[in-house]
Structure 1
Amino acid sequence: MHCFGDTGELHPILVLFLINLASAILKYISVTGTNAMSAFLDLLNDVGDSVGLGLLLVGLRYWRMRQNMFYPFGARRALYVLGLLSIMIFSGLLFGVALFKAASILSGSTGLVVEIYSVVVFLIAFAINIAGLIYIYIHSRGSNRDPALSGGMLDSISDTAGSSLALFTLITRNILLDVVGSLVLTGVILISGITIGYRYFQVLIGRAPPREILKKVMNKVLEFQEVRDVNVFNASMITEDEYMLILEVEVDKDMEVEDAEKLSARIEEEVKRVEPRFKHVVIEFVSERAGPKTYGEIIKQIDGVDEE
């Protein structure tokens, strides 16, 4: 399992897994001294994150699997499959548990019980959550962003917000704040899970890269004097930092094979220069055809691509 980066340091996903695991253990100790729903829900959130990060660590085992006949693009998309799976399971679980707990508290008359050690231990766990947020922020700023960290910043912010709500509830011992805060926290977690899951889903179904990237690449291809028209322009995300482009380009019918090979190499080089994330460029040349040019229609379709 690739738990270490290229420099020998721990992989960020492993660091986040250890942070969430430590936080979950401390929050488990904390909830033994309180019946606050927000603290219990925050514990479940950390447990869910730990399991999800554990699944991503399993996916990292296939992260650098070499391309072969069975995995022509490697197995990097395993990260998105496992990430989406964990989001589907635990976002729904947390939402259901939160509603059940809220209903049970509202129907009862028991006040909020909070032991001193519960607040202290939870405060330590909250400090660990802050450290995790700072860590993911630092590692998400790099130009060579790790797709395994996709959505990590949003998830860390929601975790920290949830922990702050739970901690404030423990300090104030306000049962109404506990119920309302927990429901708000549940909504934040659910929205965060849906947002991140939607991004993973788009990658898995092979969504096109952003519109501006497509326009730049299309314009660059049309700059070549040998290119008469572009009939096919299909771009797809394999992962968030690995794109594939398939082109069908019209050229002069008398072009020699050697010249076509040189032109193919030049186009591929320029495409990768415009956007380095295009790791796979497939170009097919056909003889110039009579009739209206088709590249204009392709440009209109590109203009209709929704921006992220």
Structure 2
Amino acid sequence: MTQVRSIFLSDIHLGTRGCQADSLLDFLRHYEAEQIFLIGDIIDFWAMSRGVHWTPAQNTFVQKILRSARKGVKVTFIPGNHDEALREHCGIRFGDIELKHEHLHVAADGKRYMLIHGDEFDQVTRHHRWVALLGDVAYNALVRINAWLSILRRGLRMAGYWSLAGYAKRKVKSAVSFIFDFEDCVVRAIRERGVDGVICGHIHAATIRQIQGITYINCGDWVDSCTAIVEHFDGGMELVEWRSARLAGLTATPAEPQPATEALVEEIAASVMPEAGIALLQPEQHRH
């Protein structure tokens, strides 16, 4: 177990078929933190409006976060656009988890980072919601196709992991342009707030880099890239690419079965998705 000061996670998309909850649990068995920041799109209400896919591993992740919070780990949840219905509850707590619109994080070295999901800087999401919804469906389709390609690659004994969605992001000029425009827009806004950096998510493009004197950090996602940011006790920030770490031999034992979660998912489901109700608490029932 590697002890770190903080863990930053975004874009887990619980409730979807693409959520890589097993890999996320592997990661959390190897990293233990004093603080956990969930930076948006943790629960995908957009996708769950079309059908819920809630697995035992996803349920175990929620239990693990709740248990960590009960044991004194500071857990902060900043909703994103896919779980935007929770934004009306910001300022209150679900159990020991605090919901906030944004958070100013002071690292161990004194540097100040603004924590935001980032969708407010995405013009498509803000002004053309139907385009964003269509893009979400298309992205999920790529993830599904990628799952079949992974099976085929394993059958052909092809080493390594190859991402169709990641390839599209790197090669399609409009996607590359969108990423750079998003990053520049975030940095311009954050500079006006007098902080040293920003930690965000939203675009599923993990990175740590300097842009115009500001440290821009994106957590990536747990649908395709399986990445997270960790802060060490000296304040240093590290991008962890968990698939690469697993290939290097850092694997964990299988998770023990967990009882159905009660606090977070039940309260969220009741207040935000009454039609889903208690079904979210029954991982053995996969609704397609």
**TM-score band, normalised by the shorter chain?**
under 0.3
The structure where strand makes up a greater share of residues is 2
Greater radius of gyration (CA): 1
TM-score, normalising length from structure 1? 0.21
TM-score, normalising length from structure 2? 0.22
